[in-house]
Amino acid sequence: MDRTYDEKLADFEARVGRGEKIEPGDWMPEEYRKNLIRMMSQHAHSEIVGQLPEGKWIPYAPGFRRKLTLVAKVQDEAGHGQLLYRAAETLGKSREDMMEELLSGKAKYANVFNYPTPTWADVGVIGWLVDTAAVINQTMLAQSSYGPYARAMKRICYEESFHIKQGYDIIAALARGTPEQRKMAQDSIDRWWYPTLMMSGPPDSLSVHSQQALKWRIKTKSNEQVRQEFVDHIVPQIRALGFEVADKDCSYDKTSGHYRYTQPDWEELKRVINGDGPCNKERLDARRKTHEDGRWVREALAVKGRKSAEAA
């Protein structure tokens, strides 16, 4: 006898409650599938667009070793994008559709990648601050109820942890450098502070998707929990290197055991993720050009695929 929707939902929720992974062929509520596709494709886009702000510095990296590690990091981000598109495809959405949504400006990607990188210190700060925020979020997502997403996160977190080290190493070197180098690093830490805080998403009271995502364990922590973890982790590190936190009111609260911090401007987040940030146009133009430049590769692969199918 066919099970009713309510019975299937009860079974699904019981599995999620027991900490079981939901796999591609399993029954799932349509809203679960949609929320996952939205989040995973945005995540994939973020990795792909996220190559651009640092990638720009590859020709100017100071020295051979810095250049090698930066090239490796940027390549890793491309790989993460591929893994995430693949994982999102298991939910029934094609990579072409996801790409079309990115290139048309319909899809969102992480706010941070719409800010400029005018100095070498920005490469260090992206690796150190932005990747730390990303890893804290992604370690949480490695517990996600959707199997392919959770497994992709584990692999990605290993690599992102290395990215944090390369970013930290750049800033630690600048901290030991000349007054001009220290100033360059401080200026970069200041500029990236609020955009990085915004990465964890709007406050829980303004978050549209969190309630459902938490109920079905797509996410296992709220935006505010993740942001607080980031602040608690990074503030002592910034101060240990002799730098200041941009938020002068940021202080340790003994009672709660957490750092208090000033909320970012949530209107700015809204503007930036809806296309009106300092570099949105530049980023999308670069992606569109790369997509166009790669057209011949896609066409050649399609012909090869057709020929193999005919021969079989």
With CB under 6 A as the contact rule, which of the stretches 20-28, 64-72, 103-111, 232-240 interacts with ligand FAQ?
A: 103-111
Using the rule CB under 6 A, is 144 a contact of ligand FAQ? no
CA–CA dist 84, 89 (Å, integer): 8
CA–CA dist 210, 219 (Å, integer): 8
Using the rule CB under 6 A, is 38 a contact of ligand FAQ? yes
Least distance between ligand FAQ and beta carbon 43 (Å): 3
Size of the site for ligand FAQ (CB under 6 A): 28
Q: Where are the beta strands (DSSP E) in 255-302?
A: 258-260
Closest chain position to ligand FAQ (CB): 50
CB nearer ligand FAQ, residue 132 or residue 182: 132
Least distance between ligand FAQ and beta carbon 146 (Å): 12
Least distance between ligand FAQ and beta carbon 254 (Å): 29
**Position among 28, 32, 41, 50 found at the interface with ligand FAQ (CB under 6 A):** 50
Q: At what angle do helices 223-240 and 131-141 cross, to 10 degrees?
A: 140
Using the rule CB under 6 A, is 137 a contact of ligand FAQ? yes
CB nearer ligand FAQ, residue 182 or residue 227: 227
**Position among 126, 152, 174, 245 found at the interface with ligand FAQ (CB under 6 A):** 126
Question: What number of H helices and E strands is found in the chain?
Answer: 14, 2
CA–CA dist 171, 164 (Å, integer): 11
CB nearer ligand FAQ, residue 60 or residue 252: 60
CA–CA dist 304, 301 (Å, integer): 5
Looking only at residues 191 through 210 of this chain, which bind ligand FAQ when binding is defined by CB under 6 A? 198-202, 207-210
Burial 53-63 (b: 16+ CB within 10 A, else e): bbbbbeeebee
Using the rule CB under 6 A, is 46 a contact of ligand FAQ? yes
Structure tokens at 143: 């517990």
CB nearer ligand FAQ, residue 182 or residue 261: 261
Cα–Cα distances in angstroms (integers) from residue 61 to residues 54, 94, 180, in the given order: 10, 37, 17
* Nearest alpha carbon to residue 272 among 168, 178, 202, 209: 202
Using the rule CB under 6 A, is 110 a contact of ligand FAQ? yes
